[in-house]
Structure 1
């Protein structure tokens, strides 16, 4: 692990502190233009998102019905009741996105898979940089709002489901995560620039309260008229 990565993790509370916990849950409100493109209804009702911090697992409740939740792992996604009864499930879910474009409709299992891997990525960043199989190297800085944000290019391992194999993370002068770039492979591989802010301290770890993902233009700039996903976080809780 290079010195910049060590400094980034320290700024977010430190790897030792992160490893003291096994899960994090948080209240989430989502919006943005991606959902109408996918033929999905999105409301402003808060939902509770839970992810495992050291293996790729995620669940959100409620999902579709008041007593339904998701159960996501890279090799399988399911919608189940809060008592654990399976409503729908799909093995090898990534293959279900073959040939998709940005506006290909999604069914609830598509949405559950996307939500699962995306929220796991977001809620474990930047600590996932220290997980086995992740390849990290420092990349060129970018200028945003008169600041220089230092970059890390990250190659995700094959066993981790996420937006794309290569993703870029950018950190402000305080070394907190400010921007996250990737291609959304499950939606035609469109380029995205996601901005992260509103960091607060939660049980010794620095966590954002806002994420806003835009289509990224060829000049590396976010197309501000094309807000694809908005996420607001509230009420974080880490558990061991």
Structure 2
């Protein structure tokens, strides 16, 4: 039986992660995986499954109204690159989970730290849209991360935020790519017979927080400048990343 205190904490973590995801277009998986790794609520392989399920719930609500703003070219090219490497990342997660949990925590922490730095040191936008192969390449990098931790954000966020596209289009495109990645990852999990029933129960417990946070962020966006939102996300991600990396390195 899941402890009531653990359920309440997970609902709160899901709410915060979904709220930031809806405002920025990413950070859900990074924040939730980092928080789960820190609290030890759920083993990381199972947490990745839960993140995939909740990512789909968040994406469904976001894209019900925003799907028209998806940049179709970058979206399709990113998926072409992302889908095959998801299998590589998924297999790597199984390997690390069975051989070195410390290495797994270290990789996750470093990914989160790099992602947080992207929010502060944003690259200057390009004058023209990047080449097609570049979207495939960064999609592939995101696919590996999606297979590992169900967090395909860092490479794709870096690349898409460099494009001369409106913020809303970048946000919806990222959410759409993440949702397809999550669906494909769940197919791999089910095909391998590794979908534990309690992972579904955890996802159902976190679902209300995700739905409420997504609706609240869309309906009542905070009166904060985009720079302020990035700084807030930066602090949350950096703290969680350092909390994972420092104990491993000092040990």
TM-score of Structure 1 vs Structure 2, range by shorter chain: under 0.3
Where is the helix percentage greater, Structure 1 or Structure 2? 2
Q: TM-score, normalization: structure 2?
A: 0.24
Greater RCO (CA < 8 Å, at least 6 residues apart):
2
